[in-house]
């Protein structure tokens, strides 16, 4: 008799739920979407009630597709990192969650860095620079700008851990998600008491921390009864999506780089030791004891593609949104290099390869000869050239390899994978479960916790390569030249971006507050 593990991922634009059998096959899956609200440039918020509603609906759909919902062994969780979800003493949400891509807390991050004794002091405490997306800056922003709400806050949870709370009643996170708060001593896998003291933040605000495969409680009885699954179904630690999605590709040791093409873009590597930090890349705990994870994150990858899709339809509001397949065909119809057009994908500011809340998107090189096809192709190429910049940082840190493993929603389209291989000029492969991303990684961690696999190494050893894309070597000189020009553009435009950022913010018209809707 077969049995299943459930994986639930609280993404930026949708909740994904999957059921995976004992052979590692995805038997059923469901996706339920929700909006991101952007009330000011650089802001991004979400109502946690939408996560919970979407998770319930997605799980119900998956369970309905199984031959026996009573054969659920456990649940693993994944979710967007860094999101501040503040709760009061009764576990009620105090305000919309402030998301990973929100840039409002940049001044507070500068303040945290100064209190820690500068970047060098901060790296000693938490092994990471204080990025505007991290949770710590948001806490200080809330204390400064919403003091009454801050005074009522008793618990701070990241998105997936809010889901855990609704599933089990427990306030718990895992080491990988805690690593992205900016308050976690990644090397020693514990909250940084010295930094909390410097910031005057009580330890009681923060959840308990476990390893990714540890059991964190069981489904509340009313949920188990409603869903028709076994009483005491265990819920395991899981992981922050950026980390556990890399794990889902089998990238847990040095040698291969993992590339995630979702709303954000990630280039990452694994290892058995915590690297010496210099602030250029993020360091997180990995999804098994004694494992660490290093990554660079660009805030707009598939999100830039989604933005372009939404922008194009506004020219003709009578038409439906163009399909992703139609846009990809447009890109395919024009040549490599988009006739000299370059796109900077810094629509939400940037985290890596440039730390800047003031970054802006831009097309460089537009002429009357360029068409919509060139706009689409240059957007895709700009995203991938930016990822190449991050891969170069990884190579400088000794983390590079001759192969890339890819995952994320965009990888369901083979042209993205081939374009990635061409821009990077190396082989790109995908493995079992690649398209399911963090949800599949959550299943792997839950499988270790439930005893299905003895270790994470054994779990990822079950992954099978399902596609390989070889680079077109004739395009190497072209993309080398494109990359040389691309990587210098940010510094050239930095002062312009900063001047634009000083202009008065423009608030979207009422009724248009859901302007930011990433993939």
Catalytically active residues are 241
- How long is the chain? 519
User: Which residues are 343's β-sheet partners?
Assistant: 363
CA 157 to chain centre: 16
SS3 of 207-268: CEEECCCCEEEECCHHHHHHHCCCCCCEEECCEEHHHHHHHHCCCCCCCCEEEEECCCEEEE
110 SS3 class: helix
Contact (Cβ atoms closer than 8 angstroms) between residue 425 and residue 476: yes
Nearest to 83 by CA among 306, 248, 242: 242
Q: Give Cα separations from 107 to 82, 131, 153 (angstroms).
A: 17, 10, 22
In degrees rounded to 5, what are phi and psi of residue 512? -125, 30
> H or E segment at 190?
strand 190-191
Task: Indicate the annotated binding residues for substrate.
Answer: 81-82
User: Which residues are 356's β-sheet partners?
Assistant: 350
Nearest to 19 by CA among 305, 448, 442, 304: 442
Q: What is the DSSP letter of 509?
A: P
Give the span between the Cα atoms of 74 and 56, in whole angstroms.
Answer: 16
Q: Which residues contact 394 (CB under 8 A, 6 or more apart)?
A: 257, 267, 269, 281, 294, 296, 400
- DSSP for 309-368 reads HHHHHTT-TTSPPPPHHHHHHHHHTS-TTGGG-EEEE-BTBB-SSS-BTT--EEEES--T
């Amino acid at each position: 008799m077969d049995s299943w593990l459930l994986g639930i991922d609280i993404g930026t634009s949708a909740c994904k739920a999957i059921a995976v059998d004992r052979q590692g096959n995805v038997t059923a899956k469901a996706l339920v979407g929700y909006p991101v609200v952007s009330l000011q440039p650089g802001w991004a918020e979400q109502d946690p009630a939408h996560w919970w509603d979407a998770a319930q609906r997605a799980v119900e759909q998956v369970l309905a597709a199984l031959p026996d919902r009573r054969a659920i062994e456990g649940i693993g969780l994944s979710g967007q990192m860094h999101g501040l979800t503040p709760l009061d003493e009764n576990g009620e949400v105090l305000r919309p969650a402030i998301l990973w891509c929100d840039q409002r807390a940049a001044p507070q991050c500068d303040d945290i860095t100064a209190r820690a004794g500068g970047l060098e002091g901060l790296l000693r405490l938490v092994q990471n620079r204080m990025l505007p997306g991290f949770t710590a800056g948001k806490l200080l922003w809330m204390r400064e700008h919403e003091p009454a709400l801050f005074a009522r806050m008793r618990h701070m949870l990241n998105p997936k851990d809010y889901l855990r709370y609704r599933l089990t009643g427990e306030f718990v996170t895992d080491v990988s998600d805690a690593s992205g708060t900016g308050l976690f001593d990644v090397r020693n896998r514990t909250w940084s008491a010295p930094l909390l003291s410097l910031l005057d933040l009580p330890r009681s605000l923060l959840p308990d921390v476990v390893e990714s495969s540890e059991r964190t409680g069981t489904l509340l009885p009313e949920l188990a009864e409603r869903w028709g699954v076994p009483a005491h179904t265990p819920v395991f630690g899981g992981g922050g999506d950026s980390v556990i999605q890399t794990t889902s590709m089998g990238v847990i040791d040095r040698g291969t780089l993992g590339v995630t093409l979702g709303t954000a873009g990630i280039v990452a590597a694994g290892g058995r030791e915590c690297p010496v930090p210099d602030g250029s890349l993020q360091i997180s705990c990995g999804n098994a004891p004694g494992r660490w994870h290093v990554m660079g994150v660009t805030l707009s990858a598939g999100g830039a593609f989604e933005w372009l899709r939404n922008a194009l339809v506004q020219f003709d509001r009578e038409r439906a949104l163009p399909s992703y397949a139609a846009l990809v065909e447009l890109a395919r119809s024009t040549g490599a290099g988009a006739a000299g057009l370059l796109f900077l994908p810094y629509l939400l500011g940037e985290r890596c390869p440039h730390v800047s809340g003031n970054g802006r998107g831009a097309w460089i090189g537009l002429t009357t000869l360029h068409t919509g096809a060139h706009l689409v192709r240059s957007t895709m190429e700009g995203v991938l050239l930016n990822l190449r910049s991050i891969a170069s940082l990884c190579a400088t840190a000794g983390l590079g390899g001759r192969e890339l493993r890819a995952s994320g929603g965009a990888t369901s389209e083979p042209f993205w994978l081939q374009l990635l291989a061409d821009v990077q000029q190396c082989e790109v492969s995908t493995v079992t479960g690649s398209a399911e991303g963090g949800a599949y990684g959550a299943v792997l961690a839950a499988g270790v916790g439930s005893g299905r696999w003895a270790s994470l190494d054994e779990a990822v050893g079950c992954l099978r390569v399902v596609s390989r894309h070889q680079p077109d070597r004739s395009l190497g000189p072209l993309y080398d030249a494109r990359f040389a020009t691309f990587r210098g553009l940010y510094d050239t435009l930095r002062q312009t971006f900063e001047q634009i950022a000083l202009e008065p913010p423009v608030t979207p018209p009422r009724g248009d507050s859901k302007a930011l809707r990433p993939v």
